[in-house]
Structure 1
Amino acid sequence: MKQIWYELKSQPVISAVTVIGTALAMFLIMVVVMLHQVTVIDLAPETKRSRTLYMGRGILEGFGSNKNVIQSNLSTAIAAELTESLEEAEATSIYCPYVSRALANTEGNPTFAADAKRVDDGFFRIIDLEFIAGKPFDRADIMSDLRKVVITESVARQAFASDGADVIGRTLLIDDVPQEVAGVVADVSPVTDVAYAQIWMPVSLTAPTASWGNPNMGDMRTLIVPRPGRDEAVKAEVNRRLAVINTRLAADSCTLSLAGAPYDHEHHKADEYPVTLPDVNKGRRMRWMLFGILLLIPAINLS
């Protein structure tokens, strides 16, 4: 230690550069690790990431006279057929993953833009939004096509100059359509991309949806939280339901696949638009290469 201290004092400039450079390199490694961790660990309000199975990307082969291949999310009907009433699941949800820019205002007040997402009632049993006032809309509200929404406290303050219980039941115009405020929640970070929105609106479970001119494809994805230890049972049941769907589609010479879904959160983050089961090992290799390169800097400084 005395020798080290002597060297540091005898060459202060070089010593300072070495120490600061090593510290900054280690800090950079910590930042990179943290940025990755916040996307994969259980993080409020996505507190069930480690237990959730994700599904939604569909590949429909043999569609139309030209036997086209369609890659899209699922229609509401197909998503519901695959996930609703799963015996081995604690909760399931059908939601649209895309956030749309909506114009909101109240009578006599300026219009402002907010991020809106369409979800079903099961979404609030999987995503633990912190309710400040009110409650989420339920299945009866959705099936009755009642126009109820959940908003963040920042939207409530901007629209009503309040984020308390007095906001519940009041009318918010969203794209000029009157919507009743059912609940107010704490603001959500965009880091939690599945949960993130500023306004949550009911997804239509009754109106037919279609993508690429096919009623089996649409904008919907699903979340499934299996009962403890029942992940494989849930996957097996989903695959059985998929086989039934494909038996029906065989009449039109079509085949639907789910790109290896349902799969866990790590696979979900590995590829947003997979055509097969996402390769998590590729991402791991890239991270280890990055860590190795970053570690070279402090290694050279120390040497």
Structure 2
Amino acid sequence: MYKLYFKQALAMLKENKLLSLISILGTALAICMIMVMVITYEVRVNNYSPEDNRDRTMYVRWGGRDFKGANHGNGYLSLKTIRECIQTMETPEAVAIVSPWRSQLASIPGGQEKKDCLMLFTDDVFWKIFDFDFVAGSPYTKEEVQSGIKKVVIAESLANRLYGTSDAAGKTIMISYKPYTVSGVVKDVSTIAKASYSEVWVSYSAQPFPDDTWAESITGWYQAIILAHSSSDFEAIRQELDRQLVRYNSSLADYKLTLYDQPDTHLEWEIKGLGAMGPDKTKTILQYMLVIVILLLVPAINLSGMTLSQMRKRMSEIGIRKAFGATRGTLMVQILSESMLLTLLGGIIGLFISYIAIWLMRTWLLSNSFASISSVFGGTPALSVTELLNPVIFLYAFVFCLILNLLSAGIPAYRMARKNVMEALNEY
């Protein structure tokens, strides 16, 4: 029976080629846009190497300086603030210190090859939060950070460019014409991993940035990354940080530190972007869901109208089949099966288009706060085939196709199938 339905559906496609093409392309474009949104969300929010702990990581990036009730600007945090207010917390598993990346010149002693590199200044805890793949050497240790030893970790591509090999651990590298020791070499990181991306990672104590000398040194050049034992600890971490903030502010004379509802989860960080304050998370998610619903409804309405028009042309067939005992359920199954063929064809084409679109527009779609700048230095949002061909994404696509089929063909099929025999024959 289903084989017959399939043959009838193919005959309908050939009979109305233009309408069928419009229907398939409408579905394909809708599926493509939805899949682009889903894949982009998956890559930017879910765990992504070396940020394998995104689901339990929080960020404190900004601090506001309030003087006698009035805001006197925002800035990064000082080492004093992080050490006294955040690192003394007991709930998190770990708290790392990072300083926003900077561009500096990297070279080897006496070498002609020089390269502007993005550099991220971190402590030793940074290497415990993020799971880098070391191809040589190891990260700098807590003792080396505390002693201010000039050690760095570099990306594999930079090591190959400067030394001609990735085995560069223990060698000397010049950072802005000052000698540093290469502690380790890691595989290149995609700019999608914006919290950990760099080409050179430097011990922050080897090139310290002084805290602000005004506003009681509550701001400076650093940020904090908090690793929770699990995502269920997020609320407890927020509550403890609120208590820490009250205690810390009580030690200040004139200024007060404001953290703008931080720490942020990775999703909240993506939504906020560069700003200290950003759109409401719930509102933003609802807006994205509304866009998806609209993208589903447009082809659904299109398919519904086309299905209804085609059903009217087939009323005699429906009437004859009902006269020979076809039930309402049998007729609906036939109509829905034929519509599903159109939807599945559009869905498959839409999937392929979405992968092509993601690949061609990856720099724009997957850019982060510094991707456009980092691209000047060679950083690109790298995507592997396995990340694109995610089984979960295929499941989403199937669900979207099913929803489209039900929306577009369910109502017309029900209306046509419930007509009695005489009414169906009289409309012929």
TM-score > 0.5, shorter chain as reference: yes
Q: Distance in 2 between matches of 1:213 and 1:255?
A: 9
CA change 1:278–1:240 in 2 (3 A) is: farther
Counterpart pick for 1:135 among 133, 138, 151: 138
Partner of 1:256: 257
Q: Are residues 214 and 161 of structure 1, via their aligned partners in 2, closer, same or farther at CA, if it must alter by over 3 Å?
A: farther
Which stretch shows the higher mean deviation, 146-155 or 277-286?
277-286
Distance across 1 between alignment mates of 2:29 and 2:277? 40
The corresponding residue for 1:225 is 227
Cross-structure match for 2:67: 62
Cα distance in 1 for partners of 2:137, 2:50 equals: 17
The answer as to 2:106 corresponding to 1:112 is no
Alignment match, 2:188:
187
In structure 1, runs of 5+ residues without a counterpart are: none
1:74 and 1:218 in contact (8 A); partners too: yes
2:149·2:205 contact (CA, 8 Å) conserved in 1?
A: no
TM-score (norm 1): 0.89
Aligned to 1:172: 173
CA contact 1:153–1:163 (8 Å) conserved in 2: yes
- 1:37-84 alpha-carbon deviations (Å, 9 max, x no partner): 211111111111111122131111117xx9552212211110121222
| 1:27-176 correspondence to structure 2 within 5 Å | 27-62=32-67, 68-96=71-99, 98-106=100-108, 107-164=110-167, 167-176=168-177
**2: distance between equivalents of 1:290 and 1:90?**
38
SS at match of 1:169: coil
- Give me the whole-angstrom Cα distance separating, in 2, the residues matched to 1:25 and 1:185: 40
Check conservation: 1:209, 1:218, Cα contact below 8 A.
yes
Distance 1:212 1:68, change over 3 A: farther
Distance 1:14 1:277, change over 3 A: closer
- Is the Cα–Cα contact under 8 Å of residues 61 and 69 in structure 1 kept in the other structure? yes
> Structure 1 or 2: larger helix share?
2
Q: Write out per-residue CA displacement over residues 274-293 of structure 1, whole angstroms, 9 at most, x where no aligned residue.
A: 55686201211221232133
Structure 2: segments with no counterpart, 5+ residues: 305-428
Structure with the larger strand share:
1
2:8 aligned with 1:7, yes or no?
no
Instruction: After TM superposition, give the deviation of residue 298 of structure 1 in Å.
Output: 2.6
Cα gap change, 1:181 to 1:190, in 2 (>3 Å): same
Offset, 1:300 = 4.0
Asked if structure 1 preserves the Cα contact closer than 8 Å seen for 2:209 and 2:221, the reply is no
Task: Give me the whole-angstrom Cα distance separating, in 2, the residues matched to 1:61 and 1:6.
Answer: 73
Q: Is the 8 A contact 2:23 2:302 kept in 1?
A: yes
